[in-house]
Structure 1
Amino acid sequence: MKIHLMIFAKIVPMTKTYESVIRPVVGDMIHDPGFHAKFHNGYEVAKVTLDYSADECWVSLAPSVIELEEIPVEGYLAHLESHGWRAVSQEDGGISG
């Protein structure tokens, strides 16, 4: 199943897709090398939307604390992108979940 993780770094929604047989549940803490300790101290699964017809799972992540912002948001976005995250465009479908 494709697992699409979604975070909202300021006003820029970011996504990264994994292939996994493990489905996240609300309350799980997610680790990713793109997350930067000087911006957030972790992300928690806030919402899970399953699309069995497409074999996809959309996961909304929420920061586990208020943004630390010890680095500028632009630096954080660049760090995420260097680890496989991408900005969500309006052409991306299925992100209504």
Structure 2
Amino acid sequence: MLMQSDVVVTAFKSSKGEMNGKPYDSTKVYIETGMQAGERSKGIVSTEYTWGLSLNYDLIEKLELPFKAKATFKLVNNGRDSKTILVDLVPEKVQPKAAN
């Protein structure tokens, strides 16, 4: 099942290398998620999603944080647990970082 949502990206990072002979390659994206309001909780947290390979980092590297984007998620289930996967992320508009 694919779902689209307007999101706010608060952070991102890429990782690529090898550990104990096993290669790894990914981009992690942190997206604002509303906390379920309760008696002793309120606010906004960021949820981590893996977004493909480290090459995806290059697509958003120059954007100023936080930024708004259209996200496509895929909900999958192994028969016991559900997981939400970030399939695509398209920033609303280009917002390059200011030159230092």
With the length of structure 1 as denominator, give the TM-score of the two structures. Answer: 0.32
> Greater strand share, 1 or 2?
2
> Greater helix share, 1 or 2?
1
With the length of structure 2 as denominator, give the TM-score of the two structures. Answer: 0.31
